[in-house]
Amino acid sequence: MSEGGKSREGFQDRWIHRILRNHLFLMALIFGVVFVSDQVTKKAIRNNMFVGESRPVFESVTGSLIRLTYVENPGIAFGIRVRNGSLFTLFSILASIGIVLYLVLHRHEGMGIKAGMTLILGGACGNLLDRILYQQVVDFVDVGLNNRLRWPVFNIADSAVVVGMVILFYTVMVTERKKALLEESA
């Protein structure tokens, strides 16, 4: 390979390294992937299925393990009803602003905290947009063993919030454990 090729590779490697080290870029990427994939999949469900329709995706001997089931959810997570949807929407807006402020004010936190919070933010904003535009959220991922043992129908935004919470919990637990071990050894 020519000297010019090595130079270009070195530049590309340094550029990629800088991008990956830049937590702001990674947070924007995580947010964008969650938000866009959530909205695109919900639009595809709205345009190609009717409410209540269910299509098997993965079959097993016990029945449909995974199905696409179009559900419109005016409540909160897992179809839990709320009395005042407008109040819940306002709370969701305030919570999303709170997460953004936390991320800005605590920009030196570790990537685990930032990734978890960003996943939660992406999911919250995905569902929030639906609440603002349609006064309900489209859920479509239907998982279970048979017709009686099924998890409540959910969407990509819900999944991002749950994964974000798991990452936050794990990160905080690991961080606290490390602090405790350091204090014991001091």
Catalytic residues: 139, 158
Residue ranges with strand state E in the chain:
54-60, 63-73, 137-143
Give the separation between CA 180 and CA 169, rounded to whole angstroms. 16
Give the separation between CA 5 and CA 127, rounded to whole angstroms. 47
The encoded tokens of residue 143 equal 């998982």
**What's at 169, amino acid-wise?**
F
Q: What is the CA radius of gyration of the chain?
A: 21
The encoded tokens of residue 140 equal 């479509």
